[in-house]
Amino acid sequence: MKLILESSDPNDYLGESSAINFHAPLVQKKIVEIREGASSEVDRARLAFEFARDEIAHSFDLKSERVAISASDAMSFREGICFAKAHVLAALLRGLGIPAGFCYQRVTRLGTVASGHALHGLNAVYLPERRVWFRLDPRGNKPGVNSQFSIEREQLAYPIRPELGEVDYPYVFVEPLDEVLTAMRDSVDCRALFTNRPLALAVPDFAKCG
């Protein structure tokens, strides 16, 4: 897939926010561990991805009621839904000086059209050494889900099925979508968030140009 960037400047994908809070002590501790544990940019990105994928549990899998939003909260709770796990990966990568953005897919809630649709969040990563953008999905593996770190060929969590109304959006956003953050903040628990997630993504203004 040809990705459509909100900004052509990779430095714009290095910023910090309340959700991508890479100066939080817990996030900084992990950044130091990754930096000390890997010498190459690729290996650091891989370690960050594997941490977000494997060490932060998916709240829906746990049947948890907790809603983590920021990277530091998800790392403190050791859980979060796809959006929060994408915040963790972005915070780690940005703290390591590796640009990271936010991507979305429209998937069925429970595998069928009848169950409805909702957005699923993942990341796009830029490796300055290789001058390439590629996507990673830290959702977390389970039977039927096998997301892996791969630069040349994507291996994401969900195969998109257009015949079921699913959509793989090509856009790479500098920050998490406002409507995603609003849904997370306004949900009293994870059960509510399962329903409150945005249903689809409109074509952003930056993709309409040219």
Kindly give the confidence (pLDDT) of every residue in the chain, 210 residues in length, as a single tens digit, with 9 standing for 90 and above: 999 999 999 999 999 999 999 999 999 999 999 999 999 999 999 999 999 999 999 999 999 999 999 999 999 999 999 999 999 999 999 999 999 999 999 999 999 999 999 999 999 999 998 999 999 999 999 999 999 999 999 999 999 999 999 999 999 999 999 999 999 999 999 999 999 999 999 999 999 875
Judge whether 54 and 145 are in contact, CB under 8 Å. no
Q: How far apart are the first and last CA of the chain?
A: 19
Tokens of 61: 């899998």
- Give the DSSP letter of residue 11: G
Whole-number Å distance between alpha carbons of 39 and 17:
27
Judge whether 172 and 102 are in contact, CB under 8 Å. yes
Whole-number Å distance between alpha carbons of 184 and 181:
5
- Give the DSSP letter of residue 129: T
Total domains present in the chain: 1
3-state helix, strand, coil in the chain (%, to 5): 40, 20, 40
Q: Residue 76 belongs to a domain with what CATH number?
A: 3.10.620.30
Query: Would you say the pTM of this structure is higher than 0.95?
Result: yes
3-state secondary structure of 54: helix
Q: What is the pLDDT of residue 210?
A: 55
For 138, the domain range is 4-208
- Sign, CA torsion 30/34/143/162: positive
Half-sphere exposure of 202 (CA within 13 A, CB side): 6
**Single-letter amino acid code for the residue at 81:** I
